[in-house]
Structure 1
Amino acid sequence: MEIGFRTIKKVKTDEIHMRDPFVFTCLKDNNYYLFGTTFADGCGDKDPIFEVYQSDNLIDWEGPYVAFQPPKGFWGVRHYWAPEVFEWNGRYYMFASFKGGIGENRGTGILVADHPAGPYLPHSDGPVTPADAECLDGTYYEDDEGQKWIIYCHEWTELYEGRIKAFRLSEDLKESFGEPVEILNAAKMPWIRHFGDPRIQKTGYLTDAPFMYKTENGELIMLWSSYSVPGYGDAGLGGYTVAVARSSDGRVEGEWTHDPQLLLDRNAGHSSLFRDVHGQLYLCTHYPDTPHGSERPLFIKVEEKLNGITITDEEK
């Protein structure tokens, strides 16, 4: 793995400052690779990068190593957010958010590597989300017919009512095509509250972190995050949260319904699911969401039930 300018250390999970964590389980070497939003905007003379930590037990980690160092002229110049890694056809593809230069939008680009830890290289020619839209948090899903998809957030800063949409991807994962499928309009959720950013003097309904998961009984669910009103969820905190949407026919293009009960309402969010090397299913999230600087990866055991996934009390 590539060593960057930061000191490689052995650390515990709760010592890693990271937002938007994502774990890739590699059964080929029985290791876990942890990615997330870390050095997102660069600092001084150092360009932004994506980093990776390695572990064989989900508790003890070594890193950060460099997963992606942008080459000269790369279209993404800042906001290196929310990397997710997926294996396909013997190679590893990273879906990640980048902000373009002046006059260019944020979007999701696709990188590729021969090892889950990298080094990753540009794969798509720029973003695979629409170039004329402000987008983030693209994730990957392949349906039962073999069609590949990118599911992403169309930003509240542009729309006011944030949306989650999907586009079909080409077989080589280099570009999107067709008409967008709209999965949800955040403003229609009964639990959601306005999100504001005083720096741009704007409020709206935020959408973050779609993640697709096909359950053993064939149901397609989507996790996503926003901010809930106080007193609504399981802890009633009114903070960053994780919600669940369901496709009635198990297809991305299907009729989507939205669980009234939040999966997580504990000032934690931007979640994904992964299985450990023994098959145990985990929710991967960052906790807490605020205050900024305190975010750490958190792995929570979950189980599949007839009505979806259920959180257990054990955490790593």
Structure 2
Amino acid sequence: MKNLLFLLFWSVTTLAQQIPIEANGFVEVEAEDYIEQSKTEKRRWEKITLQSSNNHALSAGKNTYLECLPDTRVTHDDKLINGENFSNKAGEMAVLSYKVNFTTTGRFYVWVRAYSTGSEDNGLHVGIDNQWVESGQRMQWCEGKNVWTWASKQRTEKNHCGEPFKIYLDIDKTGEHLIQFSMREDGFEFDKFILTTDKNFNPNETLKRSQIYIRDPFIYADESTKTYFMYSSANKSEHLPDAVNGVVVYRSKDLENWSKPRYIFKTPQNWWPSEKHGVWAPEVHFYKGKYYVFATFTHPDKSLTAKNPSAKTAMRGTAILVSDSLTGPFKPLSEIPQTPGDWMALDGTLFIEKGKPYMVFCHEWIQTIDGTMEMVALTEDLSKPKAKPRTLFKATNATWVKKLENVKAWNTDGYITDGPWFYRTKSGKLLMLWSSFGDKGYAVGVAESATGKLSGKWIQKERLFEKDGGHAMIFKTFEGQLILTLHQPNSGDIRARFFEITEENNSLKLGKMLEFK
């Protein structure tokens, strides 16, 4: 009865989950998101979480995986019992079924992320629509012991450790299909699977853009190497299981296939911010032969005064880092932020006007209630400000901006200014993209300088993007196409979104979104 209740519970809860949708020849699915488990008389898949004992959930996707239990054949010396702790016949034991909605037909190569500790827990079968085709039998892992490892190899008489490109499923029509996995060896630990039409894709070396959780994505297109560099805060994930706070970079040749993250900066101890707080909105600029990171740092234990005395403030500012290379390492230019020390300031960006450097940044709404956009002149080496900041505009200057009411985390309400980014039109008009909240959520607004100069006056225009996405920037591909990137949604499963963008009549027009591949 206990087993029956377990299966009933899982079938009810998983049916309520959203069916994964394949798009452009790629889909990734968590192992625990199955819709049905069958043939469990002798073995079944159990969900392992952080609350379970003696497990590998900490480095698994969403800190959860499945294990085929009980595990009675741990070493080669343990007795092999066909049909109990081993099954070379696909679809015979412990079958998991997943619904996947396919929009593409063709040959999909199957990758599975598994944790193998020995030689007797490293086999699995895959099938489709209750058909257990030869190309889905005997998935095999030999490399990557005692660590989560992606593999897509088939065990053969020629190679017991598996041959690549032999594990695949052929999808002959679009719509919903059942993707199924069955036990080959008990004790198998199963984290997630990928189906891809890209024969050369290898998730051990490459990440799809759809796999990367990222806020405030920043792209630097390096013409000399024809490489795109995407900068991000260091977020703890399966790709950075032991993440510390800092800045990482991903590299790509095509904007869709990215290298795994590499640190360019780790927040040190005994600097002005806390190394225990995350870094926000890093961006990289080339200036006078060197590369500079502008990023937001915080010390949550150091409070500041605010217009609302009840507001929960924290020391926050933009600091500038320097390196000779796009991949670092970067080091701080100063022991203090380049924004005022008694301001909650964030999202600094570099602007050059007539050869002189300026930083444009936001004075945060938590401290001011009505957030502002500020400019400050920097010294030639960018190490410190030359004068006091000057206000360019307030959040409420834009009629589309809505007030955030009673934000519990900060014990105040207010109007947000975020993420300034500049674009100069062909005729010389100066536009600023920036973000706040409107009637449809986080959004990207446009402001225009009436004089074409940084000092303005700034005139607020209509929103460029209005539904649950923002902190935008613009770059040009190596083929000459302007691309706007932002993060969307603003909470939850956040990804970098790319849109074609064009200049028309001295304004920017958003084009089609580049779909995940």
Question: What's the TM-score, normalizing by structure 1?
Answer: 0.89
CA distance in 2, matches of 1:52, 1:120: 12
- Post-superposition offset of 1:195: 1.7
Alignment of 1:137 onto 2:347: yes
What secondary structure, in the 3-state scheme, does the structure 2 residue paired with 1:73 have?
A: coil
Q: Is the 8 A contact 1:35 1:52 kept in 2?
A: yes
The 1-side partners of 2:370 and 2:215 are apart by 24
User: Aligned to 2:402, which of 193, 202, 210?
Assistant: 193
CA distance 1:101–1:204, shift in 2 (3 Å) = closer
Whole-Å separation in 1 of the counterparts to 2:469 and 2:266: 29
Of structures 1 and 2, the one with the larger relative CO (CA 8 A, separation 6+) is: 1
Alignment pair present for 1:269 and 2:466:
no
Shift of residue 124 of structure 1? 3.0
Matched, 1:84 2:314: no
Deviation of 1:130 (Å)? 0.7
Contact 1:303 1:309 in 2 (8 A): yes
Query: Aligned ranges for residues 264-303 of structure 1 at < 5 Å?
Result: 264-290=465-491, 292=492, 294-303=493-502
1:100 to 2:302 alignment: no
**Matched residues in 2 for 1:208 and 1:46: separation?**
26
1:164, 1:23 → 2: CA distance?
A: 22
Give the letter aligned to residue 55 of structure 1.
Answer: S
Aligned residue for 1:232?
none
Superposed CA deviations along residues 60-113 of structure 1, whole A, max 9, x for unmatched, are 001111111233422222230000000112211000000136326100000011
Aligned to 2:217: 21
CA deviation map 1:126-146 (0-9, x unaligned): 211111110111111101x11
Q: What is the one-letter code of the residue matched to 2:282?
A: P
User: Counterpart of 1:79 in 2: which secondary structure?
Assistant: coil
TM-score w.r.t. the length of structure 2 is 0.55
Q: Distance in 1 between matches of 2:243 and 2:229?
A: 23
1:208-238 per-residue CA deviation (whole Å, 9 max, x = no partner) reads 1011222221111111001102xxxxxxxx1
Q: What is the identity, as a one-letter code, of the residue corresponding to 2:212? A: I
Return the alpha-carbon distance in structure 1 between the equivalents of residues 458 and 334 of structure 2.
Answer: 29
What RMSD in Å do the two structures reach over aligned CA positions? 2.1
**Contact 1:135/1:153 (CA < 8 Å) preserved in 2?**
yes
Corresponding residue of 1:242: 444
CA contact (8 A) 2:265 2:331 kept: yes
Matching residue's letter, 1:311: L
Check 1:122–1:15 CA distance in 2 against 1; reply closer, same or farther (3 A cut): same
The structure where strand makes up a greater share of residues is 1
Residues 180/24 of structure 1: CA separation in 2 closer, same or farther (3 Å cut): same
What is the correspondence of 1:204-243 to structure 2 with a 5 Å cutoff?
Answer: 204-229=414-439, 238-243=440-445
User: Partner letter of residue 229 of structure 2?
Assistant: Y
Distance 2:231 2:486 in 1: 12
What SS does the aligned partner of 1:178 have?
coil
Q: Which among 117, 127, 131 is matched to residue 327 of structure 2?
A: 117
Corresponding residue for residue 180 of structure 1: 389
Contact kept, 8 Å, 1:39 with 1:50, in 2: the verdict is no
Q: Which moved more, 1:193-202 or 1:275-284?
A: 193-202
Cα separation, 2, equivalents of 1:73 and 1:112? 19
Distance 1:179 1:298 in 2: 36
1:223-275 Cα distance to aligned partner (Å, 9 max, x none): 1001102xxxxxxxx1110000111111111211010x210012110101111
1:314 Cα offset (Å) = 4.0
Distance in 2, matches of 1:159 and 1:314, equals 35
Query: What secondary structure does 1:245 align onto?
Result: strand
Moved more, 177-186 or 147-156: 177-186
Distance 1:28 1:76 in 2: 35
Q: What is the one-letter code of the residue matched to 1:226?
A: S
Conserved? CA contact 1:244–1:258, under 8 Å: yes
For the residue of structure 2 that corresponds to 1:218, the secondary structure is: coil
Q: Distance in 1 between matches of 2:426 and 2:497?
A: 24
Tell me if structure 2 keeps the 8 A contact 1:112–1:122: yes
Mapped pair 1:51 → 2:248: yes
Deviation at 1:150, TM superposition (A): 0.5
Greater CA drift, 116-125 or 20-29: 116-125
Aligned residue for 2:468, secondary structure, equals coil
**Structure number with larger C-alpha Rg:** 2
The C-alpha deviation readout for 1:26-49, integer Å capped at 9, x for no partner, is: 111110110123438xx9985311
Matched with 1:234 is: none
- Inter-partner Cα distance in structure 2 for 1:9 and 1:194: 44
Q: Spell out, residue by residue over 1:139-160, the C-alpha distance to the aligned partner (whole angstroms, 9 max, x if none).
A: 11101x1111110010000000
Residues 425 and 506, structure 2, Cα contact 8 Å, conserved in 1: no
Counterpart for residue 63 of structure 1: 260
1:201 Cα deviation from its structure 2 partner? 2.2
Residues 10, 47 of structure 1: alpha-carbon distance in 2 compared, 3 angstrom cutoff: same
- Is contact 2:251–2:259 with CA below 8 Å preserved after alignment? yes
User: Per-residue CA shift, 1:164-207, capped at 9, x if unaligned?
Assistant: 11101110010112232211111232111112421232110011
Contact 1:270/1:285 (CA < 8 Å) preserved in 2?
Answer: yes
